[in-house]
Amino acid sequence: MKDKGQNTLPADVYLSFVSSLYGNRQTLFVGVISHVITFSFVYAKTNDPFFLVWSALVVLIWALRAHGMRRFDRADKTALDMDGIRYWENWYNLGAVGTTLALGTACGYSLLVSRDSFAEIATISVTLATMVSVVGRNYGSPRAVNYMVFSACFPIVVGFLGLGDFYHAVLASLVLPFAMTTRSMANGVRTFLYENVLAARELATIADRFDTALNNMPHGLFMLDSEHRILVANRRACELLHLGNQERLKDCHLDVVLRFGVRNSFFNAGQSRTILRQLDELLKGERSRALVQVTAGLYLEFTAAPRENGGAVLIFEDVTARVRAEKKILHMVRYDSLTGLPNRTYFAELVQDALAERKKPGTVGFMVLDVDDFKHVNDMKGHVTGDRLLCAIAERLRRLAGDRAIAGHLMGDEFILFFPNEANRRDLEARMRRFHEQLRGNYEFDGMTLFVSFSAGSVTVASDDFRLEEMQIRADLALFETKSRAKGSFTLFEQEMDARYMDRQKLKDDLREALANNALSVAYQPMFVPDGSRIECCEALSRWTHPERGPVAPTVFIQIAEEMGIVSEITRFMINRACADCAAWPEHMGVSVNLSVQDLRGTGIIEVVSAALDAAGLAPHRLHLEVTESCLMEEPVKVQAILQELRARGITVAIDDFGTGYSSLSYLDQLPLDVIKIDRSFVRNIGEDPRRLKLLRGTVNLSRELGLRIVVEGVETEEQLALINKYQCADLVQGYVFAAPMSPEALRDRYEGFGHKPDEPRRRGRRVA
């Protein structure tokens, strides 16, 4: 339809256009509130009474318009002729133009008189924002559109031109296309609605049927025009979005509906823009569905079908239950169920995202943390306490990491961290060290307090060179160095660690091969009676001569064997060899073999010992088995049962390195022991330090009271031996003062040199005075 003026319209169409001017009044109220607030803020900023007066003027105009609208509501529409309809159009236009003229005048005043930048921005912004509603509210009156556009834009143009510079003149020229576009859009809407009014006459019956079907759909539905204005909304749509009466949504822009609704506001501007962008993608075919979170407890899934005229049919349903289930599954896949930290797979995704977000190359860091002695917590406090400790650690880890690091749970008692934002290597290392220090300390939960320290291994690298798998290997190498050197400390990866690691791995392979080929040997260190006249026992010591490296220190290959879990194979070899060798010694001599922690984790050691004794034909009392305090700490009840069984079979049980732990005295009473081997640390400097001598004598007295035989280790000088003999502190003496570890052949020569008879009685210790 070509617009020839309102006089050419049928009266009912003309009345519908004018009625549209008086509809949707909430927007007018929102508008006046925004106008008053804007002018009030400008007044507060400029202290110019003009804006205070103008704020009151806007309120007055709005009051008059509201009064006119109430009068229009009470008017008998059926009795109105063309003049009566024009009267209500003119009344509306008077108020609308008054509002836009007040806004436009405020803009011109701000530009030419006030010249306050905030006043200019605020007044122009609220004026142009108001102009947006011209199309949506005033399409029914072309004169209203023309007058409102002119009254709002003309003062702005005058203000820009009045400033007298080129750039403001350009802005003034740009206002004209805006005004023309607004007018054009209003005319287009009016034309569109005119055609629909005519069509509505013919389709009233069809529309009634359509409404019945539409309002009984289980899905929400919006039919939109090309400008995203709602043409049709069904009852379910209003229920899902809490929009109230569906009739009030007609001709409302979808953006307005989604942001404010009819009854309450639940979308912010950002959400509204996101939804509109998703809907545009739906209409363009770039996506098939759009999932929107309306509130914390409501998710809607939208689908759209384009219409021939550029609009769309928007259908949506409540998928909250499905989304919650999917989120739960996704959380279970991404996060550790115990600590709530990202698992290794999701941690890797977060790291890649963080690297992708970097705007320029830099240094990044990766750290692996291991809880020191966590197994001891599980064994002593229980696995429930261990789990709660891990949760407490994860919480502190999350708090310390904040948004400057990514924390994850690797496995068990191991945690991982990625540091993406440091500028240089030195600062990054300092931050990682500080993080490690802050993490250690007391952890309080369930009424208990536990002190926890962490062994840490870390690596720093240029962000472009970061590869998670490679960095984890390097951090693990640094962690291994930490545990080897000083548990509870922090180690930064160095290239030499890689070489040492490869060398150690080669040594592990060689040790496994040596065990398979029986390439280990045994050396014996004798234990003498205190006057050195006789050997009563010999400690069997494992030796390994590498074909390329030469002799490997026992402290090295025994530790490697424990890491590999094959130390029990060495123990089996040592027991078999020691029993076989001891069977050829004089009857009064015994042999002593050390047991490791791994040997006492099961009852298999009992069968190993029994088989070795049977094969060698050795009396059980001639075999001494030495255990250290570390063997007793893991599972004391199980270890005690194993030692009692061994002792019941006649085997002698000794505690080695006594005095180097924390609870040695309690073990003397609890465990089935025959012999106590006092550590060399008690003997060192006993000639120079009387306190050490008193400590040695006190320990000996206590042990004798418990019926234990005493072996003093590490006696190296004649002076130490003289003091031990003077105070009768030992039943047997072991140390370099008498003999170093020696081969079986050398040992045979040594005991044969004494010329003792096999049935010569043993010396027995006496109580220290």
Q: With helix as H, strand as E and coil as C, how does 389-411 read?
A: HHHHHHHHHHHHHCCCCEEEEEE
Give the pLDDT of residue 634: 65
168, 169, 174, 180: CA torsion to nearest 10? 130
**pLDDT greater than 70 at residue 757:** no
Q: Give me the DSSP letters along 628-668.
A: -HHHHHS-HHHHHHHHHHHHHTT-EEEEEEETSSSSHHHHH
* Mean pLDDT to the nearest integer, 256-280: 65
Residue in the block written with tokens 């190498």: 477
| Most confidently modeled range among 337-341, 417-421, 615-619 | 615-619
Q: Report how far apart the first and last C-alpha atoms of the chain are (Å, whole number).
A: 127
Per-residue pLDDT of 132-187, as tens digits, reads 777 767 777 777 788 888 888 888 888 888 888 888 888 888 888 877 887 788 77
Quote the CA–CA distance of 45 and 427 in Å, as a whole number: 45
Q: Which of 420, 264, 292 is nearest to 356 (CA)?
A: 420
| Distance set, CA 389 to CA 377, 410, 458, 622 (Å) | 9, 16, 23, 47
Buried b or exposed e, range 97-110, using 16+ CB within 10 angstroms: bbbbbbbbbbbbbb
Tokens of residue 358, six digits: 């970097």
Map residue 318 onto helix, strand or coil: strand
Per-residue pLDDT of 382-399, as tens digits, reads 888 888 999 999 999 999
Quote the CA–CA distance of 606 and 429 in Å, as a whole number: 50
Least confident of 260-264, 669-673, 703-707: 260-264
Length of the chain measured in residues: 769
Q: If you ran DSSP here, which 8-state letter would residue 765 be given?
A: -
Proportion of the chain above pLDDT 90, given as a percent = 23
Tokens of residue 567, six digits: 């130390």
Quote the CA–CA distance of 551 and 567 in Å, as a whole number: 18
**pLDDT greater than 50 at residue 306:** yes
**pLDDT greater than 50 at residue 3:** no
Q: Which of 16, 227, 2 is nearest to 141 (CA)?
A: 16
Residues 6+ apart with CB under 8 A from 79: none
* Mean pLDDT to the nearest integer, 36-41: 86
Q: Which residue has the higher pLDDT, 495 or 713?
A: 713
**pLDDT greater than 60 at residue 576:** yes
513, 516, 519, 520: CA torsion to nearest 10? 100
Q: Which of 57, 141, 71 is nearest to 100 (CA)?
A: 57
- Cα-flanking dihedrals φ and ψ of residue 760, to 5°? -65, 135
Quote the CA–CA distance of 103 and 31 in Å, as a whole number: 11
Give the pLDDT of residue 268: 63
The interaxial angle of helices 117-138 and 166-202, nearest 10 deg, is 20
Tokens of residue 334, six digits: 């991404």
Q: If you ran DSSP here, which 8-state letter would residue 112 be given?
A: I
Proportion of the chain above pLDDT 70, given as a percent = 90
pTM as predicted: 0.48
> Hey, how many other C-beta atoms are within 10 angstroms of the C-beta on 75?
13
Q: Which of 620, 623, 646, 642 is nearest to 631 (CA)?
A: 642
Per-residue pLDDT of 105-128, as tens digits, reads 888 888 888 888 888 888 888 888
> 755 falls in which pLDDT band (50, 70, 90)?
low
Give the pLDDT of residue 396: 92
Residues 6+ apart with CB under 8 A from 573: 515, 518, 520, 542
> May I ask the CATH architecture of the domain 508-754?
Alpha-Beta Barrel (3.20)
> 551 falls in which pLDDT band (50, 70, 90)?
very high
- Structural contact between residues 455 and 483, judged by C-beta atoms closer than 8 angstroms: yes
Give the pLDDT of residue 269: 63
Residue type present at position 252? C
**pLDDT greater than 60 at residue 768:** no
- Structural contact between residues 18 and 140, judged by C-beta atoms closer than 8 angstroms: yes
* Mean pLDDT to the nearest integer, 672-678: 90
Residues 6+ apart with CB under 8 A from 544: 511, 514, 519, 520, 521, 551, 552, 554, 557
Tokens of residue 42, six digits: 């400008």
Quote the CA–CA distance of 754 and 550 in Å, as a whole number: 33
Least confident of 232-246, 434-448, 736-750: 232-246
Give the pLDDT of residue 654: 92
> 213 falls in which pLDDT band (50, 70, 90)?
confident
| Distance set, CA 8 to CA 2, 5, 371, 462 (Å) | 10, 6, 87, 76
Tokens of residue 80, six digits: 């109105």
> Hey, how many other C-beta atoms are within 10 angstroms of the C-beta on 448?
11
- Structural contact between residues 575 and 608, judged by C-beta atoms closer than 8 angstroms: yes
Per-residue pLDDT of 47-80, as tens digits, reads 888 888 888 888 888 888 888 888 888 888 778 8
Quote the CA–CA distance of 341 and 401 in Å, as a whole number: 12
**pLDDT greater than 60 at residue 536:** yes
| Distance set, CA 550 to CA 304, 561, 571 (Å) | 79, 18, 22
Give the pLDDT of residue 264: 55
**pLDDT greater than 80 at residue 210:** no
Quote the CA–CA distance of 402 and 405 in Å, as a whole number: 6
HEC secondary structure over 15-51: HHHHHHHCCCCHHHHHHHHHHHHHHHHHHHHHCCHHH
Quote the CA–CA distance of 718 and 233 in Å, as a whole number: 106
Quote the CA–CA distance of 41 and 651 in Å, as a whole number: 95
| Distance set, CA 637 to CA 119, 288, 598 (Å) | 83, 65, 15
> 43 falls in which pLDDT band (50, 70, 90)?
confident
Q: Give me the DSSP letters along 509-522.
A: HHHHHHHHTT--EE
> 767 falls in which pLDDT band (50, 70, 90)?
very low
Question: Is the CATH number of domain 337-493 3.30.420.10?
Answer: no
> 199 falls in which pLDDT band (50, 70, 90)?
low
Please name the helix (run of DSSP H) or strand (run of DSSP E) that holds residue 415, with its range, or none: strand 414-422
Number of helices and strands (H, E) in the chain? 27, 21
Give the pLDDT of residue 1: 37
Tokens of residue 313, six digits: 């049919």
Question: Is the CATH number of domain 212-325 3.90.950.10?
Answer: no
Q: Which of 612, 704, 604 is nearest to 651 (CA)?
A: 612
- Structural contact between residues 489 and 498, judged by C-beta atoms closer than 8 angstroms: no
Mean pLDDT of the chain: 83
> Hey, how many other C-beta atoms are within 10 angstroms of the C-beta on 406?
20
Quote the CA–CA distance of 113 and 130 in Å, as a whole number: 22
Give the pLDDT of residue 8: 65
- Strands of 220-224's sheet in order across: 230-233, 220-224, 312-318, 298-306, 290-295
**pLDDT greater than 60 at residue 759:** no
* Mean pLDDT to the nearest integer, 204-208: 65
Give the pLDDT of residue 763: 38
HEC secondary structure over 662-730: CCHHHHHHHCCCCEEEECHHHCCCCCCCHHHHHHHHHHHHHHHHCCCEEEECCCCCHHHHHHHHHCCCC
Per-residue pLDDT of 629-662, as tens digits, reads 777 766 778 888 899 999 999 999 998 877 665 5
> Hey, how many other C-beta atoms are within 10 angstroms of the C-beta on 384?
10
Task: Using CB atoms within 10 Å of the CB of residue 264, give its burial: 0 to 12 exposed, 13 to 18 middle, 19+ buried.
Answer: exposed
Give the pLDDT of residue 87: 85
**pLDDT greater than 80 at residue 734:** yes
